[in-house]
Chain A
């Protein structure tokens, strides 16, 4: 079994949002309600003339100690054999406790309007047929087929690097081991498996 993780290199991100678009297409996420599994923050900082503009792609961190998993009353949120944190659409109550508990803003409600709109667009091919909490899955179905997650495959700047953190020869494992890629807010103790270079 693998232990999948991601490194996001903020030095190279150009803010093109191709990752958000690719994810929305691949996973039928409700872009019409401005809900995204991955979005790119566009942050301006500083006072003129010392200003800076930063692009920060955000995503579920697939934490090792996920706050969302321990609070879930129905075991709808679970960890798969590769350590990724997923949601079982059928047993989710929509209590939103996981949304409140996640410190990285990774979750949203796929509500009944979104389900209806998605059906209208995708018909029989709709992936979201019931109301549920939605979040990044590390595109487990693509990964099972030997592909990279959609956001990684699409990124033109090699900002997103995906792989097995337990494989010492993988690029992600090397970047994390070198210390250049760091988790965000490790003080929150959720042990993210997404690391940032900044």
Chain B
């Protein structure tokens, strides 16, 4: 552990930007799969059911590759991570990706080949895939926040912020890629993005409270993060305030700008990376020594 400023604040060095990318891509991948399944199932929106699922699978695959080849010191040993689902949350994370990816695969397959035996099981595979996809950002955020060793992260607000951001990006990206479908759907998408960002703002304020009322290492990490351009512009302005204002404008004027959903998706994507990366970068270890 590197010593920074004083012995009291030792920055964690285990998690760096590749993990932030993994959390972001995996979270959005899971959200994309869940959303695509719901839109296909409830609204019979076939292009989303097909290509939306494929996009989610692609994001999961990318997340897995980033984790294995950029984060793990021993990529080939990744296979052992399936070894410990009884106790390790990380193993659950891997299993969730596998379930969501596999379920989506069998859900999408009938779009391309007719397999009568699969038809009856399609809802089952889609459901499994959607649930596992939904759980991914929750569990992965929970894994970061569970240990007591980094007080800034030690809060259930982390998985909540990751989940909302992942869904915010996906709910904006679907109408941007596939078109809003109808006026009423455009309104629903817009309302969902607005609400997600409102809840994100609330979640962030609660996180601020957690950091300020928490141990000195949490306060220190938060203050260091607060001063950074990436955090101020990347997360607060681009990732939070801009989507809140733009979705609010579109919602209250009924003027769904042609570029609006694309801009919302991109802004929340940038904000999502900035949030995850800044949080990881400013995790300071708890101080265990008696002096």
Contacts and interface: CB of A to CB of B under 8 A. Distances in A.
Interface class of chain B by DSSP = loop
Interface in A76-131: 76, 91-97, 99-105, 109, 111-112, 130-131
Contacts of A56: 289-291
A96 B73 contact: yes
B285 interface: yes
A91 B80 contact: yes
Contacts of B227: none
A59 to B, nearest CB: 12
A10 B290 contact: yes
Contact of B148 (A67, A75, A91, A97): A67
Contacts of A184: 288-290
Which of A43, A56, A73, A100 gathers most chain B CB within 10 Å?
A73
Nearest to B12: A100
A56 B8 CA distance: 13
Contact of B72 (A71, A95, A130, A196): A95
Contact of A100 (B14, B81, B89, B91): B14
Given A94-B72, A94-B74, A100-B147, A75 B90 contact: no
B84 interface: yes
B249 to A, nearest CB: 40
A54 B291 CA distance: 7
Given A100-B15, A188-B148, A73 B288 contact: no
B14 A58 contact: no
Interface string A48-79: 00001010101000000001001111111000
B80 A70 contact: no
Contacts of B73: 92-96, 109, 111-112, 131-132
Interface class of chain A by DSSP = loop
A76 B290 CA distance: 31
Interface size class of A (residues with CB under 8 A): 35 or more
Interface residues of B, number: 36
B150 A43 contact: no
A158 interface: no
Interface string A127-157: 0001110000000000000000000000000
A174 interface: no
A196 B78 CA distance: 38
Interface in B72-103: 72-74, 77-78, 80-81, 83-84, 87-91, 94
Given A71-B88, A74-B83, A93 B288 contact: no
Contacts, number: 120
A2 interface: no
B81 A95 contact: yes
Contact of A102 (B74, B83, B94, B149): B149
B41 to A, nearest CB: 33
B152 to A, nearest CB: 12
Given A73-B84, A74-B77, A103 B148 contact: yes
A41 interface: yes
B170 to A, nearest CB: 27
B290 A75 contact: no
A103 B286 contact: yes
Contact of A71 (B1, B143, B289, B290): B143
28 contacts: A10-B290, A43-B289, A43-B291, A67-B149, A71-B147, A72-B84, A72-B90, A73-B80, A73-B90, A75-B80, A92-B73, A92-B74, A94-B73, A95-B71, A96-B14, A96-B15, A96-B71, A97-B90, A99-B14, A100-B149, A100-B150, A100-B283, A102-B149, A103-B148, A105-B288, A109-B73, A132-B73, A190-B148
Given A74-B84, A94-B72, A100-B147, 15 more contacts: A43-B291, A67-B147, A71-B88, A73-B81, A73-B90, A73-B94, A91-B80, A93-B74, A95-B71, A95-B73, A95-B81, A97-B143, A99-B12, A103-B285, A105-B288
Interface of B: 1, 7, 10, 12-15, 71-74, 77-78, 80-81, 83-84, 87-91, 94, 143, 146-150, 283, 285-286, 288-291
Please list the 3 inter-chain residue pairs (A to B) with the smallest Cβ-Cβ separation, ordered nearest first.
A94-B73, A74-B80, A96-B14
